[in-house]
Structure 1
Amino acid sequence: MMTDKIKLGFAPTRRNIFSADAAIEFADLTRNKLNAMDVDFVDIKDINEDGLLYDDAGMKKIAAKFKKAGIDGLFLANENFGTEYECARLAKQFDVPVLLWGPKDEAPATDGSRLRDTQCGLFAIGKVLRRFKVPFTYLVNADIGDSEFEQGVLDFIKVCNVVKTFKETRILQVGPRPFDFWSTMVNEGELLERFNISLSPIPLTELVEKIHELQSNNDSEIAETEQKLRSIADVEISDKDLNMVSALKVALSRKMKEYGCNAGAIQCWTALQDEIGILPYASESLLQDEGTPVTCETDIHGVISELLVEAATMGQERAVFADVNCRHPENPNGELLQHLGVFPYSTARNKPKLPKSHFVFDYPGSVGFQAKDGTYTLCRFDGDNGNYSLLLGNAKTCDGPYEQGTYLWLQFVNLNRFETKLVYGPYIHHIAAVRSDVVPILYEACKYLDISPDFYDPIEDDVKAYLRGDIKSIVK
């Protein structure tokens, strides 16, 4: 079940020279299919008697209706030849992903005539969209009942969700980056100017004061959080430390709501331990499960990566955020992804543990478990020198030694390629991963985000083949 919601503007189009009746019939068939798929869309049947886009007067009314509804994506359904310039004029008014498709033409009648000429019109619409500099996603000329149609629409909805999430992101930045982490340096002004991603920086003291306020007031959410942690994990830390872990989680959640943020990044060490005596990871893992990720070492680009890869699953899967740590002792293509916590509790394959300390930091507040087996999509948004890209690829879990903290061992097709990509950059040792194959979704979303897709394996041809319906999966 998809937890995130996307609203499409549905604009079926026709051209006067071909059969209006046939275009109306196929537009209604498309509507029925979208309804059967439970797609949330804004229709245009009230715009004119045809319920179709074909002239300026109708285009202006459609644009006004879609703007009022706040659509997240535009679906141009070419039901006969289509009026290409009206499609482009409509699409130009929206900064949202655009889906272009038309139903396959019937065989010619016995007298050699044809009613729709849909495929030819798709070529024309595509050309004019390019003239208007409107990026778009093309769904191949398949029948409404074909599996390619349904998969293409569902994938496009996921693309819309990635784009919407990216453009609406506001990140709570708690404290500056730790001095030693020059790798997590970001350009705040550039993120805002280019991508509309804004930061809400607050000092650590503001968060600490909120924690103490919540504890002094015996806020009921702290006790509820303590109870939840005891129900989902083996708690080895003291009651006092558990109370602080819970208070930190609640304080971070309240601060994100106060500043209108959908994610956060925190200076996780060492000033925080001096103030409240715990590591933040057990608290962050709870926030990850709630869909409001918070990353460590003030890694702004890292939390953006998490938001993107989760949005590509429509909120069905939660992302793990990990350090890429070390090679497998025996498997030449195996790699350890690990952290002191941060993985959502829901991603655990064994019961999570809240240990008294971790070998890296002798403080409570870390989490321990191995993540679930499966095929993961790895994703890292990053940039430097004004250039931004999205590192993409897949890897499958494999057996490996026990590790403290939250961890998983992944087997790559070629670990050297992955390792070299991280070293040459613009990436670092932090990466987001989700147990789902959403590489094609993220790849397609890049065209709407002014980001270059960057594969660590040579899979671009397979991704393109998937997007045009030639293969069902890029994972071998």
Structure 2
Amino acid sequence: MKKLVLGVAPIKRFFLPMEAAKEQKDIFMEVIRGIRPDAVEIVDIDDLCENGIAFEYETVKKAVDKFKDARIDALFLPFCDFGEESVAAGIASQFQVPTLVWGPRDTIPNTDVSRGRDTQCGIIAATKVLSRSGVKFSYIVNSPAKSKKFTDGYETFIRTAMAVKAMKGLRIAQIGSRPEPFMSVISNEGELLEKFGVQLVPIAITTIAGYTKQIVEENGEELRKYVEEFKGRMAFVRNMNEEQVVWTCAMTMAMEKAIREKDCTAASMECWTRMEELKGLPCISIGELSDRGLPVSCEGDVSGAVTLAIMNACCLGDTAQFFADLTIRHPENDNAELLWHCGPFPYSLRDPEKKAGIDAFNGRWELKKGEITVCRFDSIGGEYVLFAGEGKATDGPETTGTYVWFETDNWEQWEEKLVFGPYIHHVGGMYGSYARALEEAARYLNVTYDTPGKNQIKGL
């Protein structure tokens, strides 16, 4: 995954002490350079103005030019004191990117001897000007740079900005069509392109089958190594011979080749309806590709693929995503639901305490315990929604395929929300708590954010 390019323009008031502003700047710059350096490339303005802090309007054009040359994906405006609203708005108004505003909490008020920084005061003034300038921004409440409040808020913003970046120029590989009976997965290709710039790139099932056949016939070192590594992970292989295992691994390589050739970052897959042409099911391959950073939705669900692409970006590569059916309620726990699919969940998410294997082209394992975020991007009547909610994996009866029992605080509320829509029985899942970042991403994407309990329509 490419790094998020973040422009950072510290702001100060022209007549307030530079020494105090620089002290604050040095503290927060050290902090942010240590937060997710694997995912963020920081572009500062140290070479443009005194101590890399903007306080003169002449700095605006220089900062804008530098940030445009760097093609920033997001902007951070940290206030070192009261700041200059004309400078902050002058920079931010030239970009349509997620923008973060924050300033460190002041420790003492003004005295007869000295003037304080008045950081909060200046931020409230500046945000009015940002709003009037058409700048959409995020905000972290006044807090010390070396605090959990700031660290959590900054990382949430990075996840938000990465999800927004993922939607810009997103290319979804559409492998095959959809199963004929599945009217619920219908999407509007034209609207996705017009509203979000999301492109669907058709890939024929015969292309995947042809690539798979070629890889098997060549029997190269990459395939041989992959087959051995793959079999070594599995505790059992049922209802499949050696040739079919090799074919499954080759299909994974073929799908990855086809998706990357088209410069796509996610895919939808027509699966069980094309088993004859594929000479097997792609379920295992779907899970394997998610573990390689290429999430794939089942059953031709394009909106599901967009969901997974947003989630994959939001998690910054911290976890694979799984694509699940909402199936049945837990027989004993009223607040738990079975998230299941016939076998495409990523191997990396399995419960390490239980056996994981293959049964007739399908993965067969339960997922591990932990916090889970569930998400769905969907639409109806031209109105787009991003749904997200959080829960945890819990114990439940063993079943077939790949699955996890998902416990919420109030499943009936979830069920009513999902039924009244505009959703279907497919959701994306990933380990961790990402609902807040997804909520903020929805605001930047100009889609409605939805979650259980929000504007709830109740059942009878």
TM-score interval (norm. to shorter): over 0.9
Is the alpha carbon distance of 1:403 and 1:459 closer, same or farther for their aligned partners in structure 2, counting shifts above 3 Å? farther
Structure 1 CA distance, aligned partners of 2:287 and 2:147? Answer: 41
Structure 1 CA distance, aligned partners of 2:93 and 2:391? Answer: 38
Q: 1:282 aligns with which of 270, 281, 284?
A: 284
2:403 matched to 1:399? Answer: no
Query: Does the 8 Å contact 2:203/2:258 carry over to 1?
Result: no
- Residue 81 of structure 2: aligned partner: 80
2:265 matched to 1:269? Answer: no
Q: CA deviation at 1:385?
A: 0.8
Q: CA deviation at 1:38?
A: 5.9
- Residue 473 of structure 1: aligned partner: none
Query: Does the 8 Å contact 2:208/2:278 carry over to 1?
Result: no
SS state at 2:130 partner: helix
Structure 2 CA distance, aligned partners of 1:427 and 1:458? Answer: 15
Is the alpha carbon distance of 1:282 and 1:18 closer, same or farther for their aligned partners in structure 2, counting shifts above 3 Å? same
SS state at 2:193 partner: helix
What is the aligned residue count?
449
Q: CA deviation at 1:445?
A: 1.4
- Residue 123 of structure 2: aligned partner: 122
Point out where structure 2 has 5 or more consecutive residues left out of the alignment: none
Cα-Cα RMSD:
2.0
Which piece of structure 1 moves more, 338-347 or 326-335?
Answer: 326-335
Which piece of structure 1 moves more, 51-60 or 127-136?
Answer: 51-60
Structure 1 CA distance, aligned partners of 2:207 and 2:36? Answer: 44
Structure 2 CA distance, aligned partners of 1:153 and 1:309? Answer: 18
Measured against aligned partners, the alpha-carbon deviations of 1:31-67 in whole angstroms (never above 9, x if no partner) come to 2222344644111111022422233431111112112
Structure 1 CA distance, aligned partners of 2:391 and 2:105? Answer: 37
- Residue 346 of structure 1: aligned partner: 348
Q: How does 1:151-190 map to 2 (within 5 A)?
A: 151-190=152-191
Which piece of structure 1 moves more, 123-132 or 220-229?
Answer: 220-229
Q: How does 1:16-95 map to 2 (within 5 A)?
A: 16-37=14-35, 39=37, 40-95=41-96
Q: CA deviation at 1:384?
A: 1.3
- Residue 210 of structure 1: aligned partner: 211
Structure 2 CA distance, aligned partners of 1:256 and 1:47? Answer: 42
Q: What residue identity is the alignment partner of 1:344?
A: P
Measured against aligned partners, the alpha-carbon deviations of 1:232-282 in whole angstroms (never above 9, x if no partner) come to 112232111112111111111001111001111111122x21113211101
Q: 1:374 aligns with which of 329, 353, 370?
A: 370
Measured against aligned partners, the alpha-carbon deviations of 1:428-451 in whole angstroms (never above 9, x if no partner) come to 000111121111111111111111
Tell me the percent identity: 38
- Residue 323 of structure 2: aligned partner: 321
2:338 matched to 1:336? Answer: yes
Q: CA deviation at 1:458?
A: 5.5
Is the alpha carbon distance of 1:170 and 1:312 closer, same or farther for their aligned partners in structure 2, counting shifts above 3 Å? same
Query: Does the 8 Å contact 1:232/1:351 carry over to 2?
Result: no
Is the alpha carbon distance of 1:459 and 1:76 closer, same or farther for their aligned partners in structure 2, counting shifts above 3 Å? farther
Structure 2 CA distance, aligned partners of 1:322 and 1:329? Answer: 19
Q: CA deviation at 1:102?
A: 1.0
Is the alpha carbon distance of 1:207 and 1:37 closer, same or farther for their aligned partners in structure 2, counting shifts above 3 Å? closer
- Residue 472 of structure 1: aligned partner: none
Which piece of structure 1 moves more, 52-61 or 344-353?
Answer: 52-61
Q: CA deviation at 1:211?
A: 1.8
Q: How does 1:223-302 map to 2 (within 5 A)?
A: 223-233=224-234, 234-236=236-238, 237-270=240-273, 272-302=274-304
Structure 2 CA distance, aligned partners of 1:110 and 1:273? Answer: 77
Q: CA deviation at 1:223?
A: 2.0
SS state at 2:144 partner: coil
Q: What residue identity is the alignment partner of 2:391?
A: A
Query: Does the 8 Å contact 1:19/1:80 carry over to 2?
Result: no
Q: CA deviation at 1:85?
A: 2.3
Find runs of 4+ consecutive structure 1 residues off by over 4 angstroms. Answer: none
2:425 matched to 1:422? Answer: no
Query: Does the 8 Å contact 2:11/2:77 carry over to 1?
Result: yes
Is the alpha carbon distance of 1:264 and 1:37 closer, same or farther for their aligned partners in structure 2, counting shifts above 3 Å? closer
Q: What residue identity is the alignment partner of 2:331?
A: P
Structure 2 CA distance, aligned partners of 1:95 and 1:224? Answer: 46
Measured against aligned partners, the alpha-carbon deviations of 1:126-153 in whole angstroms (never above 9, x if no partner) come to 1111112211110111122222122221
Structure 2 CA distance, aligned partners of 1:74 and 1:64? Answer: 13
Q: CA deviation at 1:168?
A: 4.1
Which piece of structure 1 moves more, 33-42 or 63-72?
Answer: 33-42
Measured against aligned partners, the alpha-carbon deviations of 1:380-438 in whole angstroms (never above 9, x if no partner) come to 11111111111111222222221110011122222221112222111100011112111
Q: CA deviation at 1:71?
A: 2.2
Q: What residue identity is the alignment partner of 1:424?
A: F
Measured against aligned partners, the alpha-carbon deviations of 1:86-142 in whole angstroms (never above 9, x if no partner) come to 212211222321110112224246425314221111001111111122111101111
- Residue 200 of structure 2: aligned partner: 199
Structure 1 CA distance, aligned partners of 2:214 and 2:412? Answer: 50
Q: CA deviation at 1:5?
A: 3.3
SS state at 1:368 partner: strand
Q: What residue identity is the alignment partner of 1:94?
A: F
- Residue 311 of structure 1: aligned partner: 313
